[in-house]
Chains A and B, each alone.
Chain A
Amino acid sequence: MPPIVKATNLTKSYSKGIFALDNVCISVEPGEVLVVMGPSGSGKSTLIRTFNGLESFDSGQLNILGITLEGHNNDERNIHRIRKRVGMVFQQFNLFPHLSIIENITLAPIKVQKKKKAEAEQNALLLLSQMGIESHARKYPSQLSGGEQQRVAIARALALKPELLLFDEPTSALDPERVNEVLDAMRKLAEQGMSMVVVTHEINFAKEVGDRVLFMDSGKVIETSTPDIFFLNAKHERSRKFLNQIKK
Chain B
Amino acid sequence: MKISYNATAQLVIALIVILVVSILINNLTLNLIKTGLGFNFSWLFRPASFALAEHPLPYSPSDSYAWALFIGWLNSLKVIFYSLLLSTLIGTCFGLFRIGKNALLRLVSAGYIAIIRQTPLLLQLMFWYFVAILGIKKSIISPMGNLLSISNQGINLLGVTLSAEFTSLLLGLSVFTSAYIAEVIRGGINSVNKGQWESFRSLGLEESIGLYKIIIPQALPAILPGLTSQYLNLAKNSTLAIAVGYSDIYAINDTIINQTGRPIEAFIILLLSFLFLNLFISNGMEVLNSMVTRSTKL
A is bound by B: yes
Query: Chain A interface (Cβ within 8 Å of chain B)?
Result: 52, 54, 80, 83-84, 86-88, 90, 92, 94-98, 107-108, 111-112, 140, 142-143, 156-157, 160
Report the bound CA distance from A108 to B214 in whole Å.
12
Residues of A close to B202: CB separation below 8 A: 52, 54, 83, 86-88, 157
Q: Which residue of A lies closest to B217 (CB)?
A: A98
Interface pair A94/B205, CB less than 8 Å apart: no
Q: Is B296 an interface residue (CB 8 A)?
A: yes
Whole-angstrom distance between the Cβ of B223 and the nearest chain A Cβ:
14
Q: Please name all residues of chain A whose beta carbon is closer than 8 Å to the beta carbon of B195 when the two chains form the complex.
A: 90, 92, 94
Distance from B253 Cβ to chain A, minimum over Cβ atoms (Å): 45
Q: Report the minimum CB–CB distance from A170 to chain B (whole Å).
A: 13
Residue pair B205, A96 in contact (C-beta under 8 Å): no
User: Do B214 and A96 have beta carbons less than 8 Å apart?
Assistant: yes
Q: Say yes or no: B298 contacts A160, CB within 8 Å.
A: no
The chain A residue with its CB closest to the CB of B209 is: A111
Please indicate the chain B residues that have their CB under 8 angstroms from the CB of A94 in the complex: 193, 195-196, 198-199
Give the size range of B's interface with the partner: 20 to 34
Give the shortest distance, in Å, between A208 (CB) and chain B (any CB). 27
A112 lies within 8 A of B205 (CB): yes
Which residues from chain A contact B295 at a C-beta distance below 8 Å? Answer: 98
A-B pair number, CB within 8 angstroms: 59
Instruction: Report whether B196 and A83 are in contact in the complex, using a CB–CB cutoff of 8 Å.
Output: no
Given contacts A107-B205, A108-B205, A111-B209, contact A97 B199 (CB under 8 A): no
Q: Is B124 an interface residue (CB 8 A)?
A: no
CB distance from B289 to the nearest CB of A (A): 15
Q: Is the interface of B mostly helix, strand, loop or mixed?
A: helix
Beyond the given pairs A111-B205, A160-B204, 7 more chain A to chain B contacts, judged by CB atoms under 8 angstroms and listed by A's residue number, are: A54-B198, A80-B204, A87-B202, A94-B196, A94-B198, A96-B214, A160-B203
Query: Do A142 and B298 touch (CB < 8 A)?
Result: yes
Q: Is B46 an interface residue (CB 8 A)?
A: no
Q: A83 contacts B204, CB within 8 Å?
A: yes
Question: Are A107 and B213 in contact (CB-based, < 8 A)?
Answer: yes
Residue positions of B touching A, CB distance < 8 A? 193, 195-196, 198-206, 209, 213-214, 217-218, 295-296, 298
Determine how close the nearest CB of chain B comes to the CB of A142; give it in whole angstroms: 6
Most chain-B Cβ atoms within 10 A of its Cβ — which of A80, A90, A96, A160?
A96
**In the complex, what's the smallest C-beta–C-beta distance from B111 to chain A, in angstroms?**
25
Separation of A140 and B295 alpha carbons in the complex (Å)? 11
Q: List 26 A-B contacts (CB under 8 A).
A: A54-B198, A54-B201, A80-B204, A83-B201, A83-B202, A83-B203, A83-B204, A87-B202, A87-B203, A90-B198, A92-B195, A94-B195, A94-B196, A94-B198, A94-B199, A96-B214, A97-B296, A98-B217, A107-B213, A108-B204, A108-B205, A111-B209, A112-B203, A112-B205, A157-B202, A160-B204
Among B193, B195, B204, find the residue whose CB has the most chain A CB atoms closer than 10 A. Answer: B204
Set of chain A residues within 8 Å of B200, measured between Cβ atoms: 96
Q: Is the CB of A96 within 8 A of B199?
A: yes
Chain B contacts for A52, CB-based, 8 A: 202
| A97-B298 in contact (CB<8A) | yes
- Complex Cα distance A140/B218, Å? 14
CA distance in complex: A64, B192 (Å): 30
Q: Which residues of B contact A84 (CB under 8 A)?
A: 204
A84 to B203 Cα, complex, angstroms: 6
Q: Which residues of chain B are near A87, meaning CB under 8 Å? A: 202-203
Q: How far is the CA of A84 from the CA of B205 in the complex (A)?
A: 8
In the complex, the answer to whether A98 meets B218 with C-beta atoms within 8 Å is yes
Smallest Cβ-Cβ distance to A81: which chain B residue: B204
Closest to A84 in B: B204
Which residues from A are CB-within-8-Å of B201? Answer: 54, 83
Bound Cα distance A80, B199 (Å) = 14
Enumerate chain A residues within 8 angstroms of B204, measured Cβ to Cβ: 80, 83-84, 108, 112, 160
Cross-chain contact of A96 among B196, B198, B209 (Cβ < 8 A) = B196
Query: How distant is the Cα of A80 from the Cα of B203 in the complex, in angstroms?
Result: 9
Give, as a whole number of angstroms, the nearest-CB distance from B74 to chain A: 39
Complex Cα distance, B204 from A112, in Å, reads 7
What residues of B have a CB within 8 angstroms of the CB of A143 in the complex?
298
Contacts of B298 in A (CB 8 A): 97-98, 140, 142-143
| Cα–Cα, bound, A54→B194 (Å) | 12
Partner of A108 from B193, B196, B203, B217 at Cβ < 8 Å: B203
